[in-house]
Copies of this chain bind each other. A is one copy, B any other.
Amino acid sequence: MKLLEYQAKRQFDRVGIEVPSGRLARTPEQAAAAARELGRVAIKAQVPIGGRGKAGGIAVVDTPEEAHREAVRILAMEIRGYPVRSVWCETGLEIAHELYLGITLDRDRRRLALILSAAGGMEIEEVAATSPERIAKLWPDPFAGPRPFEVRELAFAALAHAPALTEARGRLASALVPLAQTLYRLAVELDAVTCEINPLALTADGRLVAADGKLEVDENAEYRHPELATELALDLEGEDGRTGEDPYEAEAKRRGLTYVHLPGGSIGCIGNGAGLVMNTLDLIQQVGGRPNNFLDIGGGANAEKVRTSLAMILTDPDVRGVFINIFGGITRGDEVARGIVQARDELGITVPLVVRMTGTNEVEGRRILAEAGIVPGTSAPEAARKIVELVGGAG
């Protein structure tokens, strides 16, 4: 779950990380009012995706009239598929230097990594690739968090590559200690897998200010942060309910399904387990078919979930056949079979259904399917060939 910039900044502000003054505007009038209050501001499109600056989603304005005009323009935009629902109107900063401070999950180390660089801004990834020594990293103890001396070591390592900051490094290191500790505590509190300040602005008068913010919350931990999910949903869905996501994926999310749409494909795909479904897609492609989607019913799905999944897939009229690939482990074949038969009968499915079923309770599952006139296979590659035969190849 990726928060919007203004939501991330609201979190920063709550825990005491300085952010520029700003107002959220959902209408041009609100943007004009913000400019009236704050003076010169940047009008920034609020979309959960990068590259909005290049796309024209940011404008700096001097007057309320300009603010109104630019807000009209930006609020009408759609950036990489996301309609702009709101703009963040923010005062500018006198920036002396741009740093980078971020926290992200490091799978290999099984810890959060705290990353600091004196080379902040847009090119941080390039810096990381070409001058890795300019990126200082720390993997704090998961229980203690970053200790002051660890942050100082990180700071002196990062600042060693910024001659302009040599004089100020002691003061900066001292200021970075509470900032990094606070950011880390925030990441842990919110179950963030990414929590980033870039640029972290060193202002002309020596303050450290979060000029931009990214916060992504672990989806497995959303249940611990219902307020964030609610807030984000309000912001992403306008009055028209458009979220900027693929409409099929938005619908699937509403139905609680793990679904990825592959527009233009003709074969609907259902399986139990992400690896199996990914492999199902690969198999279809290998024999010349075009999958329409990825749908993982997960482990232990019941008949109802199978029914819902089939109904979901068939909302895309491009789907001309469905491949259901089940290797039961925690999932039980009989449950799946019941769901398939129910769905076919209740939804009046007429496109071909090819079922591959093996694993837990497969005997009972295959009996249920056979009695309903659906002949299941046991080999996935064979079943893939069969569905492609029935639907026709790519194109």
List the interface of chain A (C-beta within 8 A of B): 141, 143-144
Residues of B within 8 A of A141 (CB): 143
Q: Which residue of B lies closest to A145 (CB)?
A: B143
Residues of B within 8 A of A143 (CB): 141, 143-144
A30 to B250, CA, bound (A): 60
A144 to B141, CA, bound (A): 10
A307 to B141, CA, bound (A): 48
Majority SS at the chain A contact face:
loop
Q: Which residue of B lies closest to A144 (CB)?
A: B143
Q: How far is the CB of A182 from chain B (nearest CB, A)?
A: 16
A144 to B188, CA, bound (A): 13
Q: Which residue of B lies closest to A143 (CB)?
A: B143
Residues of B within 8 A of A144 (CB): 143
Q: How far is the CB of A317 from chain B (nearest CB, A)?
A: 50
Q: Can you show 3 pairs from A to B with CB atoms below 8 A apart?
A: A141-B143, A143-B143, A143-B144
A296 to B254, CA, bound (A): 71
A143 to B143, CA, bound (A): 5
A281 to B317, CA, bound (A): 96
A7 to B279, CA, bound (A): 62
Q: How far is the CB of A390 from chain B (nearest CB, A)?
A: 53
A80 to B176, CA, bound (A): 50
A144 to B143, CA, bound (A): 5
Closest A-B pairs by Cβ, 3 of them = A143-B143, A143-B144, A141-B143
A169 to B366, CA, bound (A): 46
A29 to B144, CA, bound (A): 49
A144 to B144, CA, bound (A): 7
A389 to B387, CA, bound (A): 112
A143 to B144, CA, bound (A): 5
Q: How far is the CB of A144 from chain B (nearest CB, A)?
A: 4
A55 to B143, CA, bound (A): 46
A332 to B51, CA, bound (A): 66
A242 to B33, CA, bound (A): 57
Q: How far is the CB of A354 from chain B (nearest CB, A)?
A: 47
A126 to B327, CA, bound (A): 63
